[in-house]
Amino acid sequence: MEIFGFGARKMGRAGGGVAVDDGAENVLLNPAALAGRAYPELSVGFLGADMAFSELPPLTWDTNRDGLLDEGDAPLDLAARYDPVQAVIIGATRPIGPTIAVGLGLLVPTQRILRLATFEPAIPTYFMYANRVQSYELGLGAGWRPWGGLSIGGGVAMIPRARYSLDGTLDVTLSGAEDGDTAGDIVGMGLDVHSMELDLIPGFSPHLALHWDAGKAVPALDGLMLGASWRGEAGLPVDVDIDLQINAGTEDIEDLEGFVLPLILALQLGVYDHYVPEQWVGGAAYTLSKTLTLSGEVRFTRWDRMQVSVAHVTDSTVKGGAFDFGDDPVADGNTATITMQPTVSPRVGLDLRLPGINGGDRLGDVRILTRGGFGYEPTPLVSQTAASALLDSDRVIFSVGLGLEHDDPFRKLGDRRVRLDGYFQYHLLASGELSRPEPPQPTPGYPVGGASIPIGGHLLAAGLQWSLEY
């Protein structure tokens, strides 16, 4: 939802429409707009999305894994390709009396329910897209209309957090050489994993919203709708606890009596995956003669608090009977410092309802609706140190949509409507480059020969959604 929106009608106008009543699609953007609906609604849809980015130059890396960076290492040829997405979208609303309604919105990628993935900051990565589309979205909301078209709403989006632990023993035995005089080969190595545990713990992002259908209170303002929403900060923190006992021992080394030196290595890693920022959205929509609807909104997103998906050593201990390793002996190897900023993003949309046609006894009044939208998302990335190569740029969004609605073909549901909506989105990332000049010595992740890293690409999304009032 963060990139494409939720629901075919909102996706058809570039993901926007905080002031537009789109039924179940409002759950994740403005739950207050759920109130005032006459009938329950169920919608089922499908989303397909893909991404393509500029080719990356060959990179310096320890490709032969000998611990050295030299002429023996072939350049790392890395493609900036990320998995495409196919997802099922389900929405449902239910009025409870004339003034209250509840709703549910669910987006589930078909390849996976959730992916926990980190990245190496020294290697060029489109960090805003590499993992953000590989997660389900679940929102629950409710709206209440107390007076004159004014609705108050709230809800939650479910974001799980994770906890992973590993407990094991590594035994390493060093034997004497064939003449028995000096240390020789490692003849024994065994890893006994005692336990591994992964817990997914529910977490929730709060949501508050307002919606006002002004014409219900002031007839002169008929057609004007206002909407605003606030979503709290949330994310997917992953606590990783590793407890490893390393038993290093010797045998058959001259007159040295065999011994075992145990070391207890305890590590705590901090990972923050799929960060959901605090966001404020405000907008308006105006419908002219029940035919043309113009909508616009502005989003303020607190990306300056973002924690990227990089694993950090937050705590460590090494214990051995004959050694004192001091406090936190294992240093964090990811030293990158990244500066982010809040962003202000506009969205505008257009809905045009064409004149109805007679669909006969089966379809009744048939209407065709066309949609279009435009959005602009500035990059939140301000600066970074030479230890990282995070790639991002401003993104422009173009979208179109087409809808068809008609009466219940079996006439069992009175004046309920059936809808079929399709959409297509094209996102263009502005072209640019990240300069990483060749350092005095080979450095992991740097382009071979000091070339710049090009930035740019596009995202595509398309889908269909079927909705039924019942």
Mean pLDDT, residues 170-188 taken together? 58
Token pair recorded at residue 91: 């929405």
In angstroms and rounded to an integer, the radius of gyration of the C-alpha atoms of the chain is 28
List the structure tokens of 15.
């993901």
Which is more confidently placed, 200 or 365?
Answer: 365
Alpha-carbon torsion 329, 332, 337, 338, what sign?
Answer: negative
With respect to residue 311, please indicate whether it lies within any of the assigned structural domains. no
- Token pair for residue 415? 């004046």
Q: Find tokens 């078209």 and name the residue.
A: 149
pLDDT band at 276; cut points 50, 70, 90: confident
Residue 269 lies in a domain: no
Which is it for the CA torsion 413, 417, 422, 423, positive or negative? negative
Q: Average per-residue pLDDT in the chain?
A: 86
Could you tell me if residue 249 is inside a domain? no
Does 155 fall in a domain?
yes
Residue 241 has pLDDT above 60, yes or no: yes
| Segment (H or E) for 281 | strand 279-288
Phi-psi region of 328 (alpha: psi -120 to 50; beta: other; left: phi over 0): left
Q: What is the pLDDT of residue 468?
A: 92
Statement: residue 183 has pLDDT above 50? no
Asked if pLDDT for residue 186 goes beyond 60, the answer is: no
Closest CA to 85 of 137, 123, 38, 35: 137
What pLDDT was estimated at residue 136?
A: 85
| N- to C-terminal Cα separation, the chain | 26
Band of residue 22 on the pLDDT scale cut at 50, 70, 90: very high
- Flag whether pLDDT at 4 surpasses 80: yes
* pLDDT, tens digit (0-9, with 9 covering 90-100), for 30-66: 999 999 888 999 999 999 999 999 999 999 888 888 8
Amino acid in position 117: A
The verdict on residue 372 lying in a domain is no
Q: Is residue 332 part of a domain?
A: no
445 in Cβ contact with 122 (< 8 Å): yes
**How many domains is the chain built from?**
1
Give residue 123's domain range.
8-160+202-233+277-302
Residue 336 belongs to a domain: no
Residue 152 has pLDDT above 50, yes or no: yes
Q: What is the pLDDT of residues 62-115, one digit of tens each?
A: 888 888 888 888 999 988 888 899 999 999 999 998 899 999 999 999 988 777
At 257, the pLDDT band (50, 70, 90 cuts) reads low
Q: Higher pLDDT residue, 326 or 315?
A: 315
180 pLDDT more than 50: no
- In this predicted structure, what is the pLDDT of residue 176? 59
Spatial separation of the C-alpha atoms in residues 341 and 306, rounded to whole Å: 9
C-alpha 283/C-alpha 32 separation (Å) is 13
**pLDDT(181) > 70:** no
Q: Rounded to two decimals, what is the model's pTM? A: 0.86
- Rounding to the nearest 10 degrees, give the CA dihedral for residues 273, 108, 298, 337: 10
Rounded distance between C-alpha atoms, residue 351 and residue 402, angstroms:
9
Q: What is the DSSP letter of 11?
A: H
Taking the C-alpha atoms of residue 329 and residue 320, their distance in angstroms, rounded to an integer, is 12
- Domain assignment present for residue 99? The answer is yes
Give residue-wise pLDDT tens across range 394-421: 999 999 999 999 888 776 656 788 999 9
Task: Express as a percent the part of the chain with pLDDT over 90.
Answer: 49
